[in-house]
Chains A and B, each alone.
Chain A
Amino acid sequence: MSYILDGYNWDLTDPGSIPNLLIAHISITFVSVLIGLAIAFPLAFLVARFKHLYLPTVTTAGILYTIPSLALFALLIPFTAFSQATVLIPLVIYTQVVLIRNIVAGIRAVDPQLVEVGRAMGMNSWQLQWRVVLPLAMPVIIAGIRVVTVTTIGIATLAPWVGTEDLGTLMYQGFNFARSDMEAAGTILVIALAVAADLLLLGVQAALSRGQRVNALSEA
């Protein structure tokens, strides 16, 4: 606690200060999840339509997910050295399996009759996806984003070991210099960040599921 409370560690001009490390951690997470979504969305819509592609895609993503994070960082060092790519590439790869599975599951869980109704009302295929499929799939998709965000925050703590600074830096340096106050500060901050992100996205999830708990079709 002493480390967190020490005003000296909140100096914004110091790149190693708590707020700067926190911002770095958040931006690494944010960028990874964003890139992850940018890849997973088109892929998921593709494999939701071409069903035979689903299993190979998810299996590949799953196998990649099984590779231990530190091993994947290490495997990239010969290629990307200690650049930020060494951290971002694995983080993005790890988001894929959960995102793709949840987006596809969300799309598939949309009642086909509602899609049909949208079609009957004259929606074009873009409007159908945007106004019917996506909003109805959203709670499941957000659930996936939530898992992925929390996981990414966790894995990103390893970034300092491959040369990118974030909250893990406090743990890394604390360990190297045998400073348990730094270790504790890093641990507490990273847990707080993960829990905060989890709760925030839980709130989003709840807000988005509004009106949707019971399917109108099964009730009518």
Chain B
Amino acid sequence: MHFLKHRAARELAASLIRVVKEIEWTMIAKMLQFIGDPTNTFWQHTIDTLKLSIVPIILALLIGLSLGVLVARRPVAAFISANLTGLMRAVPTLAVLFIMILYFNQIGFLPSVVALTVLGIPPILLNTIAGLRGVDPSAIEAGQGMGMTQQQVLFRVQIPLVLPVIAAGVRTASVQIIATVPIAGLIGGGGYGDYILAGINLLNIPQLLVGAVGIALLALLAEFALAALQRAVTPAGLRATEPAAIAPSARRSPVGSLADV
């Protein structure tokens, strides 16, 4: 750690001064210049990034949701899938990407999308199961007791109670996927990851920062938008005042928030 304390601290101080001097307008100007240069195909990269984010989110949603609905009422299947997906979360993101490269024996968009989808499924699946199983049977019974039809029970009792939990899962999955998009860039997935990779290799700081800032902004935007969505679909009575901690038994809480990304 000595190494860190001395060299890193000195480096940090020196580069801080350097960067603060430099960064002011010149860096932003350089970044804007980079974006404006048509040879850098900024819009293509942006579209690729969005494609790389949205396609897996939708796929993960479809798969996670239908799988969740399928197993939620089957205790054994639910147990198995919950534990399998829980275990899968221990697998590092980059490892998932490399498994896909090795499996498809190719790099680029396809293995990236599959890997990102695989990463997005667990939170949605787990929360769908938790949400569906968590609906208090007495609430359903109370609905039926009041003379609601099957459909009314579904739309007025079950869905309002389950939706927030699923929304939390979607939020977790989306932020997780977006966070992995630049990593997919490392294996030729395209998008802003390309800028970061090339920026590092060529030590082209403006290029690197365009990629990093771009993807960071996208992730934060998604986080805030989906947090708002989650809040919107949560009935007032169920709104927690603060995020719950990760329970010792479940490695991650079923209702995810920032920390479950």
Name A residues whose Cβ lies closer than 8 Å to a Cβ of B: 31, 54-55, 58, 62-63, 65-72, 74-75, 77-81, 83-85, 88, 97-98, 101-102, 104-106, 139-140, 142-144, 146-147, 150, 153-155, 157-158, 161-162, 168, 171, 175, 180, 183-184, 186-187, 190-191, 194-195, 198, 205, 209
Question: In the complex, what residues of A have CB within 8 A of residue B3's CB?
Answer: 84
Could you list some 26 contacts between A and B, CB below 8 A? A54-B242, A66-B175, A66-B261, A67-B219, A67-B220, A68-B178, A68-B215, A70-B183, A70-B215, A71-B216, A74-B199, A74-B208, A74-B209, A75-B213, A77-B208, A78-B208, A80-B8, A84-B4, A101-B246, A140-B246, A140-B247, A153-B92, A175-B186, A180-B105, A184-B102, A195-B90
User: From DSSP, what is the main secondary structure of chain B's interface residues?
Assistant: helix
Quick check: is B123 within 8 A (CB to CB) of the other chain? Answer: no
Pairwise interchain contact A98-B196, C-beta atoms closer than 8 A: no
Taken together as a complex, chains A and B put the C-alpha atoms of A200 and B92 apart, in Å, by 17
Quick check: is B259 within 8 A (CB to CB) of the other chain? Answer: yes
Taken together as a complex, chains A and B put the C-alpha atoms of A146 and B252 apart, in Å, by 10
Pairwise interchain contact B211-A71, C-beta atoms closer than 8 A: yes
Other 14 A-B pairs with CB < 8 A, given A68-B215, A74-B200: A63-B223, A65-B259, A68-B216, A70-B196, A71-B212, A74-B199, A79-B15, A80-B11, A97-B258, A101-B243, A139-B248, A157-B93, A168-B94, A187-B102
Interface residues in B168-222 by Cβ distance below 8 A to A read: 175, 178-183, 185-187, 193, 196-197, 199-200, 205, 208-209, 211-213, 215-216, 219-220
Taken together as a complex, chains A and B put the C-alpha atoms of A183 and B104 apart, in Å, by 13
Taken together as a complex, chains A and B put the C-alpha atoms of A190 and B96 apart, in Å, by 11
Taken together as a complex, chains A and B put the C-alpha atoms of A154 and B92 apart, in Å, by 4
Pairwise interchain contact B248-A140, C-beta atoms closer than 8 A: yes
Quick check: is B95 within 8 A (CB to CB) of the other chain? Answer: yes
Question: In the complex, what residues of B have CB within 8 A of residue A69's CB?
Answer: 179, 183
4 smallest A-B Cβ distances: which pairs? A105-B245, A154-B92, A62-B258, A74-B212
Question: In the complex, what residues of A have CB within 8 A of residue B211's CB?
Answer: 71, 74
Question: In the complex, what residues of B have CB within 8 A of residue A81's CB?
Answer: 11, 15
Question: In the complex, what residues of A have CB within 8 A of residue B213's CB?
Answer: 71, 75
Q: Could you say which of B16, B223, B244, B248 contacts A205, with CB atoms under 8 Å apart?
A: B248
* Chain A residue nearest to B197 in the complex (CB): A161
Nearest CB on A from B14, distance (A):
9
Taken together as a complex, chains A and B put the C-alpha atoms of A88 and B220 apart, in Å, by 22
Pairwise interchain contact A80-B12, C-beta atoms closer than 8 A: yes
Pairwise interchain contact A75-B212, C-beta atoms closer than 8 A: yes
Question: Which of B178, B205, B242, B247 has the largest number of chain A CB atoms within 10 A?
Answer: B242
Question: In the complex, what residues of B have CB within 8 A of residue A139's CB?
Answer: 248
Pairwise interchain contact B99-A98, C-beta atoms closer than 8 A: no
Question: In the complex, what residues of B have CB within 8 A of residue A101's CB?
Answer: 243, 245-246, 259
Taken together as a complex, chains A and B put the C-alpha atoms of A195 and B252 apart, in Å, by 16
Report if A190-B193 is in contact (Cβ < 8 Å); known contacts: A67-B220, A143-B251: no
* Chain B residue nearest to A150 in the complex (CB): B90
Pairwise interchain contact A98-B259, C-beta atoms closer than 8 A: yes
Pairwise interchain contact B95-A190, C-beta atoms closer than 8 A: yes
Taken together as a complex, chains A and B put the C-alpha atoms of A162 and B208 apart, in Å, by 12
Taken together as a complex, chains A and B put the C-alpha atoms of A77 and B196 apart, in Å, by 11
Taken together as a complex, chains A and B put the C-alpha atoms of A154 and B176 apart, in Å, by 13
Pairwise interchain contact A106-B245, C-beta atoms closer than 8 A: yes
Taken together as a complex, chains A and B put the C-alpha atoms of A101 and B243 apart, in Å, by 8
Report if A62-B259 is in contact (Cβ < 8 Å); known contacts: A150-B90, A191-B92: yes
Q: Could you say which of B23, B186, B248 contacts A70, with CB atoms under 8 Å apart?
A: B186
Question: Which of B3, B107, B209, B212 has the largest number of chain A CB atoms within 10 A?
Answer: B212
